[in-house]
A and B are shown apart, each in its own frame.
Chain A
Amino acid sequence: MKGVIGLLAVLAVLVVIPVAEYAFAAGDEPGEYLDRRVVIWNLFFRMMTIAFVVGAVVSGTIIWQVWRFRESHPKAKPTPYEGTDW
């Protein structure tokens, strides 16, 4: 079953993405006059905003976890793996 899902996932990557790109290229309407500097900078700016926000959330979560689940935290509880002799 897992193999079938994996195969489907690989097929999706191999088939769906090229088809989507092909479909996208099919609308080959003429482009508009635009300043590519602006388009590229805007994209970069948005991507960097997302990257920094995601980076802050992920690192903040990790820092909070390390702080909250340290052994010396007042609310720390032993896990079953550590035994009950606390």
Chain B
Amino acid sequence: MAHSAWPEWIYVGVVIALMCWVGAEAWEAERLVEHYPEDAHVIKVTGQQWFWTFEHEDGTKEIGELHVETGKAYKFEVTSKDVNHSFNIHDYVVLMDAIPGRVNHVWFAPDKAGEHDIQCREYCGLIHYNMRGKLIVEDPSS
């Protein structure tokens, strides 16, 4: 039985348009989130059973605590010394796998002074639950 096919074509067109739109939006968000600012400070983040080590650009190292300042961007170079970990600052939606032999990047720009939890988000052994750290965001000193 012959019938008009235009409703089908409209349906297909709407679905394709929606998929394009969803893809473009997601792509744009990913681009915005992944491109770090030029003046971002680099912090090397190393995970190992069961603590985090942070190394600032000037060579200063911190263990289990990370001090940063508001109004600056920070680019984390995340790696691991033993097994897979995952570096997470929940309050700032920072989440990146720490993989041995690989350096992954993620960046953020804190906007308010305060203290936030850092937590490993990849099960990494017996004391994974306590592989925590503290992010301390301070106002610029001078």
Contacts and interface: CB of A to CB of B under 8 A. Distances in A.
B92 A31 contact: no
B109 A40 contact: no
A15 interface: no
Interface residues of B, number: 24
A66 interface: no
Contacts of B117: none
A34 B92 contact: no
A36 B25 contact: no
Nearest to B31: A24
B32 A31 contact: yes
Interface in A26-65: 28-37, 39-40, 42-43, 46-47, 50, 54
Interface of B: 1, 18, 21-22, 25-27, 29, 31-38, 73, 92-94, 107-109, 111
Interface of A: 24, 28-37, 39-40, 42-43, 46-47, 50, 54, 80
